[in-house]
Amino acid sequence: MNKPEELCRLAKQASLKTAVLPHEVRRAALKKMAAALSEHRDLILKANLEDRQRAADENLSPVLIKRLLIDEKKLEDMAAGLLSLARLPDPLGRKTLKRELDQGLILTRRTVPIGLVGVIFEARPEALVQIAGLCAKSGNALLAKGGREAEASNGVLHRVLREAQIGTSPDWENGFLLLHTREEINAILSMDEYIDLLIPRGSNQLVRHILDHTKIPVMGHAAGICAMYVDKTYDREKSLRLIRDGKTQYPAVCNAIETLLVHRESADILPRLLEIMPEVEIRGCGETQKIISCLPASSCDWETEYNDLILSVKIVETLQEAIDHINAHGSRHTDVILTEDKKAAEEFLNRVDSSSVMWNCSSRFADGYRYGFGAEVGIATGKIHARGPVGLEGLCIYKYILEGNGHIVDDYARGLKSFTHRDLI
């Protein structure tokens, strides 16, 4: 048995144990994990410096090096995040159904952890802390692989957090394992026998590669092609403020807007765009180009996540055209309508098939922290299990529990007994 398979097997076995740890134990582990980050501060900062020095030596971009950074403030934020997870109510054991099937035959449905979660993430080492915290809270075992650039930081964070978990309960012995090489990632993609869910957090290429090479269910998003649509009835100044926020507040993230759709009757805001965001490159449709001087948008532009100060702009004749454009070219992430017309807003919110749809606010709100989930595993754009910002709920599933007293099906099949199907909650 090769090494990654053995790790998967051990982590899967551990998941059966972490799944039944009481909430007090999971909560105590989170507190211990938070304390461990402070205790081992010097060790963590030293490892992080090592990563950043190597990154500088290898001429990585300043943006990437900045993402790698762990400083005292970030370390405090990570610890605070773990403590806030500790305070949240238990996501496990919630009864979501209780039904009498017949006298003495009671069905309940109860939330349980998914099992073994594999997370593959790039760059930011704080993601490891956040994910380890979410998994500890939800009783899932975790198999994680971080980016090579943050290897030293991830190694120390993993050791420190894992020790804190095992110190709380020996059942965590193999409940949080770290992989080290790219070969190991490729190996675990075939381990659908052990891994219940894969969560890739990183570049479109990473997510695509994983989707294309595994039978394990994947939760995540390959692209964040978000659009903002200015309808014919919205205040120009408000529109410009929202467009600016959606595009420039943090252009490198998935919930920034890439496309601006403008109703013809609102096209007079286009010249103002150039004034308020001179740093943004506009790529316009033919109609847009008649109004402002900008580069032409090719058909590729409507399906590109720039992650940069570039915005594709299209003039539409109707609300329906805007909706159709988004459903055809968007990535089901987050899309926004700006309008004073309540009926138009409802039509947009109903018909746009995205995980988050918004009315008169910035797409940048699509985020687990801002939605109040405490932390997020990531943002999912699939259509099953969990969509949008995914917090603890997305790491849980349920089981049915049926309790009887010698009840057999034959009695019902022969008509001797019949079901009552009476809901008890």
Q: Least Å distance between CB 134 and a second copy?
A: 15
Which of 163, 32, 122 is CA-nearest to residue 85? 32
Helix (H), strand (E) at residue 262: strand 257-263
Binding to a second copy (CB under 8 A) within 370-389 occurs at: 370-372, 382-385, 387-389
SS3 7: helix
Binding of residue 390 to a second copy (CB under 8 A)? no
Binding of residue 279 to a second copy (CB under 8 A)? no
Binding segment (CB under 8 A) for a second copy, from list 41-49, 146-154, 241-249, 292-300:
241-249
Binding of residue 357 to a second copy (CB under 8 A)? yes
Angle at 34 between CA 6 and CA 255, to 5 degrees: 80
Rg of the chain taking only CA atoms, in angstroms? 25
Return phi, psi of residue 218, to 5°. -115, 130
Binding segment (CB under 8 A) for a second copy, from list 40-48, 72-80, 127-135, 396-404:
396-404
Q: Looking at 362, 375, 377, 391, which residue binds a second copy (CB under 8 A)?
A: 362
Binding of residue 405 to a second copy (CB under 8 A)? yes
By C-beta, is 235 or 265 nearer to a second copy?
235
Binding of residue 358 to a second copy (CB under 8 A)? yes
How many residues touch a second copy under the rule CB under 8 A: the total is 70
Cβ-Cβ contacts under 8 Å for 121 (sequence gap 6 or more): 127, 128, 131, 144, 145, 146, 147, 200, 201, 202
Binding of residue 16 to a second copy (CB under 8 A)? yes
Q: Least Å distance between CB 235 and a second copy?
A: 8
Helix (H), strand (E) at residue 199: strand 197-201
In the DSSP assignment, the letter for residue 264 is G
Given phi > 0 = left and psi -120 to 50 = alpha, else beta, which region is 115? Answer: left
Binding of residue 349 to a second copy (CB under 8 A)? yes
Strand intervals (E) in 53-115: 95-102, 105-113
Dist. CA 8–CA 145, nearest whole Å? 13
Q: Looking at 83, 84, 412, 417, which residue binds a second copy (CB under 8 A)?
A: 412
Binding of residue 242 to a second copy (CB under 8 A)? yes
Binding of residue 31 to a second copy (CB under 8 A)? no
Give the tokens for residue 414: 């022969």
C-alpha dist (Å) from residue 34 to 77, 131, 296: 10, 13, 51
By C-beta, is 136 or 323 nearer to a second copy?
323
Q: Least Å distance between CB 359 and a second copy?
A: 5
Contact positions vs a second copy (CB under 8 A): 16, 19-20, 99, 101, 105, 107, 114-115, 196-197, 211-212, 215, 217, 219, 235, 238, 241-242, 244-245, 249-250, 327, 345, 349-351, 353-362, 364-366, 370-372, 382-385, 387-389, 397-410, 412-413, 419, 421
